[in-house]
Structure 1
Amino acid sequence: MERIRVEGRVLGKHGTTLSYDSGCRCQSCKAAHNKKSRDYKRRQRIQKNGIPPHERPSPDDAPLAKVAPRAPYKTHRQQHLGDSLDLLQGHGWLVWELGREDSPTLFSIAEPGFRAAIYRTWEAEALAQRIADREGIPWLPVPYPGSFDRYEETLTKIRALENQQ
């Protein structure tokens, strides 16, 4: 690799990420320029929007399996709803399944004596809340967006409700 000269000074080896000739069309200079552009754009995005959720470190006290929702759910909100629907189904108050295999945001729910209907997440939460209130089961939905922190807060509130009864 040859060294690059700009205004009579030697900058570094030709085609490295530290220095490259932006006007050069050789493959190593193009690769160095593209990498530097990607890194710059990523730094700009982080500065503007913060660290993306998939790159944030998980809390030390929570193992990875506890932080990520179980499959097929995408959020802890959906997982919490699915768990409560399982509980209600176990008591015979409803029958449910995912509305579509590829969409954990749709729930097919049938109460005894009624046909199954497709519910969106917030509608299924309202139905589960109504049945839980009717049967005296302390339950609260996880607020939007359904992150792990909100899930933990909701579980704490549910435990407090159980202790009040």
Structure 2
Amino acid sequence: MNRKAPHLRKDSNAYRQKKNEEAKQSMKDNFVPNDLMNIPNYAFVRNEEIYKSLIQNLTELGIGIHLKSIDIYSLIELANTIDLLIEIGKELKEYGISQVSTSRDGSSRVVASPHVQMRNTTLNQLQTQMKNLQLTPEARQQLTESVLNDADMATFSDDEDDELINNIMKRF
């Protein structure tokens, strides 16, 4: 039984092998890095620093390679959600998770702060947005298993190759 992943197997049928190679090349062409730092003028970004930090972290970690320029709007909404979550966190820190509510007849009781529900809703929204962009650990793992396991997907320049070898040698 051949336990190799389907995209790593060599096919005995020349026609099918050629089609597989063409599909691999097409996939490589679709996964070229995009410049996600250029925010359109008409897009609303609550905090541009958070957006740029998000893109920089995705780039440094190498997990944003599947994102295209059309995803800028989704990334902007993700950055806006993160900014809103930070703002809600500041409010919770300042006012706490509960507050005293006084009724018309003068009795008072402790109730949950409305910021707690806002935080929970925003966290769920953040999780959904990250999952849709395949930025959660589970989604990245699935993407990696289905696409990026192919050794042919890796392309290195001579400088990157030398740097990789030097980094490996430093560990020994």
- Fold match by TM threshold 0.5: no
Q: TM-score normalised to the size of structure 2?
A: 0.25
Q: TM-score normalised to the size of structure 1?
A: 0.26
Which structure has the higher relative contact order (CA within 8 Å, separation 6+)? Answer: 2
Larger Rg belongs to: 1
Could you say which structure has the higher strand fraction? 1
Could you say which structure has the higher helix fraction? 2
